[in-house]
Amino acid sequence: MANIKAPECLDLCVTTGDFEAAAKEKLSEKSWVYASSSAASGLSHQSNLDDWSRINFRPRIMRKVNTLDTSRNVLGKKSKLPFFITAMGTLGSAHPGAEPSLVQGATRKGINAVISTATSKSLETIMQAHIDEQQKVNNRSPTRLDFQLYVPPDRKKAKELIQRVKAAGYHSLWITVDSSTQGKRTADRYLQEREKLEQGGREMVREAAAENDFGPAFGGRPTAGYLHPGLTWEDLSWISEEWGGPVVLKGIQSVEDVKLAVQYGMQGVLLSNHGGRQIHSAPSALMTLLEIRTYYPEAFEKLEVFVDGGLRDGADVLKALCLGATAVGVGRPYFYALAAYGTEGVEKCTEILTEELEICMKMLGVSSLDQLHPDMINASPLLNDMWRPGSFKAGNLRAHL
């Protein structure tokens, strides 16, 4: 892939990993660093990637799988596929078509997408791109756009943004709850310091989203008035009231907080460590999913559980679904696909994941997603490393010595 010019080799992308090399070839250094960087030494990001391989399937043979049903009910609406494009900021750094190009590809393929507050284009422009594409396919696409909310510290501005999202027609609100501050993105910090030295020690002004009043400055440092360190569980009341529709909490990383999400009446949680870009040494979404399955299995009856982070193969979608997840979010592969090939890359990435999903369903011995259950996987390697209540009590500690 590295020696083939990206615009000429879309057909040679046979795994989602192939988009990464093609994107690196096309992106500027600043955009590449922004997309690929993670917190501190990268442990959180690496665990996202590694943990998918620590779960194995237990296939059943000689099952009737000549027809497949990959659909899923997600927040009250039928979804064609059990994976979606998770929220990603400043896609204008990846491709001049930015978010509208992303949703055009998503709409053509019938896949849902979560649109970030940190967009390069206005949220209305993005929704209009979806509406226009729907008209081209005679409104046959099941694609739905949801909105990922960074809650502004100014409540008046927050309500203004929520009302704009509602008026534009987004289906559900995904509140980011893992960003009281911004993680230390090491590679981006190195780049910033190098730029500053090249400018004679002057601080570089980060590029902001030109068409989005709520968009942050582009880069790895926080922007004043953007993140909300004072956000609490009690704020969910007025946010939910203002929104009036399904609410998902994005960035849950412990079973205790899933219990609180149920207590506060949320419709869903997205288990995520922000692509490994926030807290150093965070658990992978799969590890948190195992915590819920082990210590609070009734959660799956009380709200919908989503996961994202590190997924690169459609077969891995099934691993999360076996453990009880409603659907799985995919991020960087779509960023890279958009960067290298635009809308066609988004379509191709969806085709790859869909084919892998269908192949694995057949080989696993299921013809519909409702046939999946925990006994179809072996998660022992992850379970061995999972947190256990009371692990550091004196008696338990002595038992381990």
Q: What is the pLDDT of residues 37-62, one digit of tens each?
A: 766 677 777 787 889 999 999 999 99
Calpha distance 342→340 (Å, rounded): 6
30 inside domain: yes
pLDDT band at 308 (very low <50, low <70, confident <90, very high): very high
133 inside domain: yes
- Look at residue 354 in the predicted model and tell me its pLDDT: 98
DSSP state of 40: T
Say whether 130 is catalytic. no
pLDDT band at 7 (very low <50, low <70, confident <90, very high): very low
Is residue 394 pLDDT above 80, yes or no? no
Higher pLDDT, 6 or 141: 141
- Look at residue 90 in the predicted model and tell me its pLDDT: 86
1 inside domain: no
Least confident of 190-194, 204-208, 352-356: 204-208
pLDDT digits (tens, 9 = 90+) for 237-294: 999 999 999 999 999 999 999 999 999 999 999 999 876 666 777 889 999 999 999 9
Calpha distance 180→191 (Å, rounded): 24
- Look at residue 209 in the predicted model and tell me its pLDDT: 53
Phi, psi of 43, rounded to the nearest 5 degrees: -65, -40
Q: Binding site residues, as ranges?
A: 34, 87-89, 116, 148, 150, 176, 185, 250, 272, 274, 277, 308-312, 331-332
Tokens read off for 134:
């729907």
396 inside domain: no
The β-bridge relationship of strands 77-79 and 72-74 is: antiparallel
- Look at residue 108 in the predicted model and tell me its pLDDT: 97
pLDDT digits (tens, 9 = 90+) for 229-251: 779 999 999 999 999 999 999 99
**Closest among 290, 326, 332 to 311, alpha carbons compared:** 332
Higher pLDDT, 282 or 68: 68
Phi, psi of 163, rounded to the nearest 5 degrees: -65, -35
392 inside domain: no
391 inside domain: no
Other beta carbons less than 10 A from residue 248's beta carbon? 24
- Look at residue 201 in the predicted model and tell me its pLDDT: 65
**Closest among 185, 357, 145, 191 to 276, alpha carbons compared:** 185
C-alpha distances in Å from residue 270, one per residue of 84, 101, 264, 284: 12, 25, 15, 12
pLDDT digits (tens, 9 = 90+) for 83-94: 999 999 889 989
Cβ atoms of residues 272 and 308 within 8 Å: yes
139 inside domain: yes
Q: Binding site residues for glyoxylate, as ranges?
A: 34, 150, 185, 274, 277
Q: Binding site residues for FMN, as ranges?
A: 87-89, 116, 148, 176, 250, 272, 308-312, 331-332
Least confident of 117-121, 136-140, 215-219, 289-293: 215-219
CATH code, domain with 381: 3.20.20.70
298 inside domain: yes
**3-state SS class at 381:** helix
- pTM value is 0.89
Task: Tell me what the pLDDT averaged over the chain comes to.
Answer: 88
C-alpha distances in Å from residue 255, one per residue of 151, 159, 269: 23, 29, 11
- The total of structural domains in the chain comes to 1
Mean pLDDT within 380-388: 90
Is residue 212 pLDDT above 90, yes or no? no
Range of the domain at 107: 6-385
Amino acid at 173: L
Amino acid at 188: D
Which entry of 95, 274, 280, 400 is annotated as an active-site residue? 274
